[in-house]
Amino acid sequence: MRETIIETPVTYYTPDELSAADRELVGRAVEATRNAYAPYSHFHVGAAIRLEGGEIVSGANQENAAFPSGTCAERTACYYAHAAHPDKRFEAIAIAARDADGNLTRTVTAPCGACRQALLEYETLAGRPVKVLLVADGEIALLPSVKSLLPLAFTEF
């Protein structure tokens, strides 16, 4: 018998405790929530990815009447980022959401399982950890990598 314990470090910051670059990334994720198309869930999610060199690319959830055809903010952002900038590696991603009343969520919004798997592939391509910033109203949770959000991931690629 053998046991291992998987730990995920999560550090919580107020916005002013973040570096200027991370604060900007968080701001872009919050801004991107405005571009959500969410007439069914009324849950507006924004994701912003910082690429090597500092450029930020963002995305928002896009829903569809044929529900499974919709896409989360994180996958909108990462597929767009790599489609537009195939040579640039990801450095960090921030994710924010607003509820049906337009308020930033009081607790952090973490990516769904499918988005974790999609993001992990770009972290693997980057060859180094992609920082994850999960935004709540007044607080940001920082995780050191996508892998830390998806332990025991499928990585046979």
Which residues are annotated as catalytic? 74
Q: Is the four-CA dihedral 51, 57, 61, 62 of positive or negative sign? A: negative
- Can you tell me the distance from the alpha carbon of 26 to that of 13, in angstroms, rounded to the nearest whole number? 12
The residue ranges that bind ligand THU (CB under 6 A) are 38, 41, 43, 45, 61, 63, 70, 72-74, 109, 111-112, 115
Provide the minimum distance between the beta carbon of 16 and ligand THU in the complex, in angstroms, as a whole number.
Answer: 25
Provide the minimum distance between the beta carbon of 130 and ligand THU in the complex, in angstroms, as a whole number.
Answer: 15
Provide the minimum distance between the beta carbon of 87 and ligand THU in the complex, in angstroms, as a whole number.
Answer: 26
Pick the closer one to ligand THU by CB: 58 or 109. Answer: 109
- DSSP H/E element including 30: helix 20-32
Tokens read off for 66: 């044929």
**102 CA to centre of own chain:** 19
Distances (CA, A) of 53 to 80, 91, 132: 17, 9, 17
Q: How many CB atoms lie within 10 A of CB 120?
A: 20
Rounded to 5 degrees, what are φ and ψ at 153? -70, 160
Pick the closer one to ligand THU by CB: 88 or 98. Answer: 98
Provide the minimum distance between the beta carbon of 146 and ligand THU in the complex, in angstroms, as a whole number.
Answer: 13
Pick the closer one to ligand THU by CB: 74 or 91. Answer: 74
Pick the closer one to ligand THU by CB: 74 or 123. Answer: 74
